[in-house]
Amino acid sequence: MKVVFVDRDGVINEFPGNGLYVTNVKDFHFIPRSMEALKLLTDAGYHIFVISNQAGVGKGVFTHDKLRRITQRLHDGAARAGARITGVHYCTCKSTDGCNCRKPRVGNILKALASVGGSDADARDAYFVGDTEIDIKAGKNAGCKTVFVLCGREDRAYMKRWDIRPDHIAKDLYEAAKLIIARDTDHPRDRGRRASQGR
């Protein structure tokens, strides 16, 4: 099973700023090449899941309806690029709520895998792409391979203070997608598939 989990703010769309949220469709702006990245992954046969903490809803900063509208813009943008997002999973709880779906916990990752018939064991072959330590921790906690992108909230200077390290670092989601596809092309699973198709 080919699966990529992707954080939203700072990876797909521009990071709104520390302590801020994307609260309206008009403030939701795609990072250059992010839609092209999703198309690369779609064409390569990946299930793409967006996994995002959106505590602004739980705090009353913006509504579920506004979040739904923003999500529709995300799906529409992907569709225009020829990409398909398999699912979007948000945790709208506050950090103090102890929700199992709030990154770095893995509830939404496991829920996403289950939606396509996968299990937690399938996370070992999956990738998590994010722009913060919390994203990388979530990926590691689920057993995924991780890619830290430098187009969002945190950078290499932040990373020096982390107590974990990502498996890979990429400039943005587009470079992350190319890296993932290239590495999976060399995966024994795919080499075996190509060999059987060539017989």
122: annotated active-site residue: no
Distance CA 163, CA 77 (A): 35
Distance CA 175, CA 188 (A): 22
163: annotated active-site residue: no
Pick from 120, 43, 46, 56: nearest CA to 87: 46
Catalytic residue among 7, 131, 172, 184: 7
> Are 132 and 10 spatial neighbours (Cβ–Cβ below 8 Å)?
yes
- Residue 82 neighbours by CB under 8 Å, 6+ apart: 39, 42, 43
Side chain identity at residue 160, one-letter code: K
The CA-atom distances, in angstroms, between 116 and each of 5, 48, 75, 93, 185 are 13, 11, 18, 25, 22
Pick from 77, 14, 94, 88: nearest CA to 47: 88
| Cα dihedral 8/80/88/130 (nearest 10) | -30
The set of catalytic residues is: 7, 9
